[in-house]
Amino acid sequence: MDAIPTDPPVHVHSIAGKASCCYVDSMNVAFDMGVNFVKSVVQDHVFISHGHIDHIQALPAHAAERQLTGMKPATYYMPSHLVPHMQQIMVSYSKMQESDIAAVLVGVDAGSIVHISPKVAVKAFATAHRVASLGYVAYSISKTLKGEFVGLPGRELGTLRKQNVVLEDITWVPSVAYTGDTCIEFFDQHDRCADFLRAAVLVTEVPISGDLALTVCAKCTFLGDTSAESKADETGHLHLNQLARRMHRFVNSSLVLTHFSARYSFQYIQDTLTRQLLPPPHDANDEAVRRIFMAYGDRWAALTRPPSPPAPPAVASDKPTQS
């Protein structure tokens, strides 16, 4: 499976109710572990959004495969209340295979920040699902020398560092945002979602398809009547219509939509998203989101407009040409 050509590239494998995982190889992070696929196993830092089985079921397999291949234990960050439950699960798996499976389980809460490296950090945000849940933003961190110190010789800069003078400006840029399952309430709270809306890449889950806005959430199926959106809210998911009405807010370079129901074909979902989310060529908001992708299972596609219809042929005039 090739990476989705976002910047940075992301790998996504997701089907509603079955499995979800997204990883960013260049940042050494994965989000959710509902399936262990391609190079997800080599990511040292895994962030779990919530405790639903399709988002966490492959964690023991991820840890076991790393151990089998001689890698160090990964660190798994998850909502704090999940840690004791996952500890029990890991104990049970270890007993079944009669050898310990090593995994570092760390509880995080909204506002927690994890430094992956000097250049990468991940922050947790409270989302709005029907169980306690977190979304995550991975930031690229850069340092630039403050203007007043530019041009100073290295020896002088070294002396200033020894005096604990702050020589650099530190900039955090949201690179990849991952919502996990959430309802539209999250995107209506600017204090929570601002960095999600401006991240270079936003991966969000929309388990919805169909011209009638047919929505599949857990065990419930809703048709596109006037109550469909409220039903989506009740089960903690996004309705495609809700997303479409807010497309002008998304200033991401790339938007990746995923977590669609297995009852629909890849082509059907792609056609539906294209019709509902891509504006006509003359729309002023056309560039608000430059690239939109869909990820379904282990496949992905870029949404593109169908070619514009040809211009009507010119009608010949019966009037004589003026000389």
Tens of pLDDT, residue by residue over 283-306, are 545 554 569 999 999 999 999 876
Q: Is residue 323 part of a domain?
A: no
pLDDT in tens, 130-166: 788 999 999 999 988 888 888 888 888 889 889 988 8
What is the model's pLDDT at position 85? 98
What is the model's pLDDT at position 217? 29
Q: Is residue 320 part of a domain?
A: no
Whole-number Cα distances in Å, 92 to 88, 100, 101, 281: 6, 10, 10, 56
CATH of the domain at 142: 3.60.15.10
Q: Is residue 311 part of a domain?
A: no
Q: Could you tell me where the beta strands, DSSP code E, fall in the chain? A: 11-15, 19-24, 29-31, 45-47, 75-79, 104-108, 113-117, 120-126, 134-145, 168-178, 201-205, 208-209, 214-217, 220-222, 254-258, 291-296, 299-302
Q: How far, rounded to the nearest angstrom, does the alpha carbon of residue 145 sit from its chain's CA centroid? A: 32
What is the model's pLDDT at position 225? 37
Q: Is residue 219 part of a domain?
A: yes
Token match 């209340």: residue?
81
The count of domains in the chain is: 1
Which residues, given as ranges, of the chain have pLDDT below 50? 209-226, 284, 288, 323
Query: How many of the other CB atoms lie within 10 Å of CB of 241?
Result: 17
Q: Is residue 161 part of a domain?
A: yes
Domain span at residue 166 reads: 11-302
Q: Is residue 316 part of a domain?
A: no
- CA dist 216 and 232 (Å) reads 9
Number of helices followed by number of strands (H, E) in the chain: 8, 17
Largest CA distance in the chain: 99
Token match 């010949």: residue?
316
Contacts of 223 (CB under 8 A, 6+ apart): 212, 213, 214
What is the model's pLDDT at position 169? 87
